[in-house]
Chains A and B, each alone.
Chain A
């Protein structure tokens, strides 16, 4: 990533370690670094989350707005992603420096969330063909420590999980226009159903092996990386018993200069789906735990200060 230099011998050390399935901090090629999550950190947003994966720090806020659905999809709501790379992360993001990376991440999220079975956009519909909810997902990258895509997608899903959409009390038809009356009570709202929302998994090809959750140094050693989007399993996100939904592959993106043989690509995808399932169930468990905490007592906000 940005502003990093490694000597040739350090690269040799990293590549050989991955070949032996023993990375420089003792992880195997399939292990993630410890992740820390906090939801509802921004009180003005409809839903928010902050996620820290080793040195990668992500803040996500979600804003809801009433909008008119697209004519080709009258029954669906809208979701839009905006990534902002803070110059705090690295000096290279200053000005327009982070724009390319930001666009790449927001595009792949956009594609992943618009796959037909990934995220249920029907729940955002208010009045078919006339009114729908539009979710603005604002992602702020505060620190870059490798593996941005995965961290961003986890934070987005966590933020969506806490997002509540106000109920519509009454709708008045005024000619062709609809006039909505929304409830003023912030608790008079429904949570989003996010079980199937996709997660992104980056697989970095280093040497002849693929690794998940590369650190910034490892990313520097890789010639090509594959980002895949995998839809989630709603059974992990509720305490009720519902049947498992098989995780499905929703999107793929590649970055780096290298290429891949079809067979390696296939094995990368299957490795990514396994990793995504693990991530999904871990995220679901901790989100349910967080929700329980909020219900049982007044939650202290930790944010950035503690």
Chain B
């Protein structure tokens, strides 16, 4: 029953970078001159001073025709309408919930933008207002879509579709929002027995594949009847969680393909806990990068 302990020295640390073609982009630091004004236009992440365009964030420059933007490497989530996000309810207020979505300000979920139990559309009465905490309470995780953006930059969410709503058993992994690749679909079901919501805000939800619920079951508060998670599903979830951590530590873009590759490559390490080791993490990231490169060449 003795456990496993590994203590490494800082001098043995591995460099997590997997940059394949030694092409390290040019980084700009805040205040650094990007170029003279010329006839360029100033985009996000830049400002004008002494007839020079300077970077206001630490990141990489992107030029679209005459527009110059600097994308920060690390930042809070900047929402766009239509994004799928995973968030945590932190407060129940009058007619709305406050949701933490890793953006600069807490997001808002209005009572009017959720599907009420029962399914059909109806007026939201004062009774519904009193039942809000039964629907979603502090700490609950939800998946939602960005409905609109307020003038101060905070997001308004909605869950008016059956695919959104409260999340059941599973794990949430947090990564930088800039590592999430935008896709048409952010809901994925993998053949190895897990389903995943890759939130645009960098929150990734991994859970077992939900069993089909009948309408009746959906109506009763599903909290009380959370099904057991089998050992097999648990292993797959843990392996996926460690794969995400491995790719994120090597700053690789995350989407369903890269994660599926990483998951398959990770079987080189039989025990899921071996993937916690930094060398194994780098190895998985490296193999995944190779597969992505191979795929791109074909």
Tell me the A residues contacting B by CB distance below 8 Å: 5-10, 12-13, 16-17, 20, 22-38, 50, 154, 212, 271, 274-275, 277-279, 282-283, 285-286, 289-290, 293, 299-300, 302-303, 306
Contacts and interface: CB of A to CB of B under 8 A. Distances in A.
B9 interface: yes
A10 B169 contact: yes
A38 B9 contact: yes
Given A13-B169, A27-B4, 19 more contacts: A5-B88, A5-B90, A7-B139, A8-B139, A8-B140, A8-B223, A10-B141, A16-B228, A22-B235, A25-B241, A32-B5, A34-B6, A37-B10, A38-B11, A275-B3, A278-B2, A279-B5, A286-B9, A302-B10
Contacts of A28: 3-4, 273
Contact of A37 (B9, B168, B271): B9
Contact of B13 (A277, A285, A290, A306): A306
Interface residues of B, number: 43
Name B's interface SS: mixed
Interface string B151-184: 0000000000000000111111000000000000
Contacts of B226: 9, 12
A306 B272 CA distance: 28
Given A7-B139, A12-B226, A278-B2, A24 B237 contact: yes
B6, B7, B169, B273 — most chain A CB neighbours (10 Å): B7
Given A32-B4, A34-B278, A26 B273 contact: yes
A50 B9 CA distance: 10
A282 B169 contact: no
Nearest to A280: B5
Name A's interface SS: mixed
A31 B238 contact: no
B211 interface: no
A16 B234 CA distance: 10
Contact of A5 (B4, B139, B238, B271): B139
B8 A286 contact: yes
A30 B88 CA distance: 30
A282 B228 contact: no
Nearest to A36: B8
A29 B228 CA distance: 20
Contact of A24 (B8, B231, B241): B241
B9 A26 contact: no
Contacts of B11: 38, 290, 293, 299-300, 302
Contacts of A283: 7
